[in-house]
Amino acid sequence: MTGIARPPVVELTGVVKRYAGGVRALDGIDLTVRAGELVGIVGPSGSGKSTLLHIVGTLDRPTTGTVKIAGHDIAALSDRRLSALRARHIGFVFQAFHLASGMTAVENVAEGLLYSGLPRARRRRLADEALGRVGLADRRRHRPHELSGGQKQRVAIARAVVGQPDLLLADEPTGALDSTSGETVMELLHTLNAEGSTIAVITHDTEVADRLPRQVRIRDGRVVADTTLGKVVA
């Protein structure tokens, strides 16, 4: 460790999210995630995880409080600029994969570069490389229905990281998988983190969270514990 703090990728300060009807889904969240971290955001159903995912993913704005992603205060951005920031800085992985069924694995991964401005051939080449990184080079022409659940999630992860986002945001990434495939997916996230990716995993599963170096526990829209067990990859 050098002692020099890595730059924050996510900075939430006093974030409150109130829904119509008066529910305070987030009740004053302060959370900083720095480059190179692998953090689990864990809480039971109803604790505010989905709301937090939407805020950190810039899919929604807070009622009050500030949200900075890669140093940009999202309050200052129009919806259009915010979409551009999201495309550039955040890669998403969802429980249900969200792959396009009519496309091959490599085409799905290349979708992650759609807004990059890169020419098609280069997008393909980078997609091929990303598929290789998740161990699926030999499945590049397979369509989602020809892949196992774990393989689909690895394709989704390749799509999320192909543009080298500042943050990989994974929402219950093992939720739809059997335990062996889930294990493989978590190992992959650890490997990508060791290679430099900053990753936040949102989960209700304490077994998943317990194996991550940092855990942020939320309950009733508040951070109730924030623990770092292992060391951040140097």
For residue 85, give Cα distances in angstroms to 65, 73, 125, 152, 194.
Answer: 19, 11, 24, 26, 25
Please say whether the beta carbons of 151 and 35 come within 8 A.
no
Please say whether the beta carbons of 169 and 40 come within 8 A.
no
Distance CA 29, CA 32 (A): 10
Helix 149-161 to helix 120-133 angle (10° resolution) is 130
23 binds ligand ADP per the rule CB under 6 A: yes
HSE at residue 154, side-chain half, CA atoms within 13 A, is: 28
CA dihedral sign, ordered 207, 211, 52, 168: negative
Q: How many CB atoms lie within 10 A of CB 212?
A: 25
- Interface residue with ligand ADP among 14, 19, 76, 230 (CB under 6 A) is 19
25 binds ligand ADP per the rule CB under 6 A: yes
217 binds ligand ADP per the rule CB under 6 A: no
Q: Using the minimum distance from each CB to ligand ADP, give the nearer residue, 23 or 233.
A: 23
CB of 228 to ligand ADP, least distance (A): 22
Q: In 3D, which of 1, 54, 5 has the Cα closest to residue 34?
A: 5
CB of 212 to ligand ADP, least distance (A): 17
Q: Residue 4 is encoded by which pair of tokens? A: 């020099």
Q: Using the minimum distance from each CB to ligand ADP, give the nearer residue, 54 or 143.
A: 54
Please say whether the beta carbons of 167 and 6 come within 8 A.
no
Q: Using the minimum distance from each CB to ligand ADP, give the nearer residue, 49 or 159.
A: 49
Binding mask 45-84 for ligand ADP (x = CB under 6 A): xxxxxxx---------------------------------
Binding mask 115-144 for ligand ADP (x = CB under 6 A): ------------------------------
Helix 149-161 to helix 179-194 angle (10° resolution) is 20
- Interface residue with ligand ADP among 43, 112, 163, 173 (CB under 6 A) is 43
CB of 18 to ligand ADP, least distance (A): 9
Stretch that binds ligand ADP, among 44-52, 56-64, 109-117, 168-176 (CB under 6 A): 44-52
CB of 194 to ligand ADP, least distance (A): 28
CB of 62 to ligand ADP, least distance (A): 13
Chain residues that interact with ligand ADP, rule: CB under 6 A: 19, 21, 23, 25, 43, 45-51
